[in-house]
Each structure stands twice: as structure tokens, then as C-alpha cells.
């Protein structure tokens, strides 16, 4: 099952493997931070009923940020591990670079 859309995976393939590792780790950390923020906001919303309305927007915002960061992290980590985010091994973007 492919999580990363094909046009996005083609763009990820243009990034150097070492940089894709850095980007993958960074966005993975952002995804975990987003999960923490959503869980903390839900805890506050359930504990203090009177501030639930003011926490709806941050919960949705951090949920969207977390999902985008997780998909991005998956794409870049896959690029680093397999050499290609699309899964093809016929030719890498690194060999097609112009010096």
C-alpha cells in the first residue's frame, strides 16, 4: 500500500539520500510532537469542560500537522532506506544529476 502520492514521491526522489535522512528524522520528530500536543489538548479539554471550545482549533491544527509530518517522514525515510521513494530500483535520481 502506497501512503505517499506518486507526484510527491517523484519529488522526494530528487533529494540526496543523506538530506532525506535528515528531513525524515526531523519530520518524524515533528509528528511525535504533534501527537503529544493533540493528546495534551484532549486531556485539557476533557479535564476542564469550560475550555473545550477554545481547544477545538488547536486539536484539529496539530492533527493535520502531525498527519502531514508523518507522511513526509515516511516518504523521506523510505527514500533513504530503499534509494527511491517510488520503490523503483531501475535508476536513481542521483545518477541522473548534472555535475
The pLDDT tens digits of the residues spanning 36-48 come to 999 999 898 888 8
Q: Write down the pLDDT at residue 99.
A: 44
Between 96 and 25, the higher pLDDT residue: 25
Q: What is the pLDDT of residues 46-97, one digit of tens each?
A: 888 777 778 889 999 999 999 999 999 998 898 888 876 666 655 555 555 5
Q: Write down the pLDDT at residue 22.
A: 94
Candidates 75, 55, 54, 57; CA nearest to 65 is 57
The pTM (predicted TM-score) of the whole model is 0.74
Instruction: Say what angle helices 52-82 and 17-47 make with each other, to 10 degrees.
Output: 160
The torsion defined by the Cα of 16, 19, 21 and 24, in degrees rounded to 10, comes to: -110
- How much helix, strand and coil, in percent to the nearest 5, is found in the chain? 75, 0, 25
Q: What is the pLDDT of residues 13-24, one digit of tens each?
A: 888 888 999 999
Amino acid at each position: 500500500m502506497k501512503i505517499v502520492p506518486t507526484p510527491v514521491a517523484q519529488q522526494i526522489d530528487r533529494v540526496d539520500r543523506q538530506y532525506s535522512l535528515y528531513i525524515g528524522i526531523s519530520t518524524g520528530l515533528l509528528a511525535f510532537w504533534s501527537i503529544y500536543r493533540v493528546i495534551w489538548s484532549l486531556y485539557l479539554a476533557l479535564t476542564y469542560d469550560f475550555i473545550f471550545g477554545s481547544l477545538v482549533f488547536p486539536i484539529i491544527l496539530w492533527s493535520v500537522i502531525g498527519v502531514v509530518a508523518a507522511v513526509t517522514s515516511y516518504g523521506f525515510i523510505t527514500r533513504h532506506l530503499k534509494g527511491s521513494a517510488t520503490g523503483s530500483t531501475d535508476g536513481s535520481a542521483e545518477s541522473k544529476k548534472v555535475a
